[in-house]
Amino acid sequence: MNFFLLDTASAVASAASGTSSVEMTPEGGIISMLTMFLPIILMVVVMYFLILRPQRKKEKETQKMRSNMQIGDEVVTIGGIIGRVVSMKEDTIVIETGSDRSKIRILRTAVNQNNTIHDDVEG
C-alpha cells in the first residue's frame, strides 16, 4: 500500500514539474512499433517462400498432370492402385487393373501420379 502511494506521489510530482520519465515522440513510437512487428512480418514472408509458394506450384503441376491424362496412360491413385486408363469423362476415369482386367471407376482427383511419359510437342 505504501509503495502505491509513493509511486503515485512521484508521478504527481513529476507531472507538476513538467518532466516525464518516459518521453514519447511520434518518431520514436513509429520506430518502436516497426521493430516490434518486424520479426512477425519476416516470419510471414519466410513462411510464404518456404511453405505456401512450393505448395501452390505443386498443386498447379498436379492439376496440369490430371488434365493432360490420356487413354492408355498408367496411373497410380492416392490409395496406391496401379492401372491403365480405359475411358475418361469430365470428372471420372475408368482404370483397368491386374491381369484379370478388372475395371474401377475413380474420380480424376484421386489420381496421384501418371507413370506414362509423354513427349510434349508444341507446334
Level-2 CATH architecture, domain 70-114: Roll (2.30)
pLDDT reported for residue 14: 55
Mean pLDDT for all residues in the chain: 82
Q: What is the pTM of this model?
A: 0.59
Q: Where do the domains of the chain lie? A: 25-68, 70-114
* Residue 84, CA distances (Å) to 7, 67, 79 in order: 81, 16, 15
Summarize pLDDT for 27-76 with one digit per residue, the tens.
668 888 888 999 999 999 999 999 999 999 999 999 999 999 999 999 99
Q: What pLDDT score does 87 carry?
A: 95
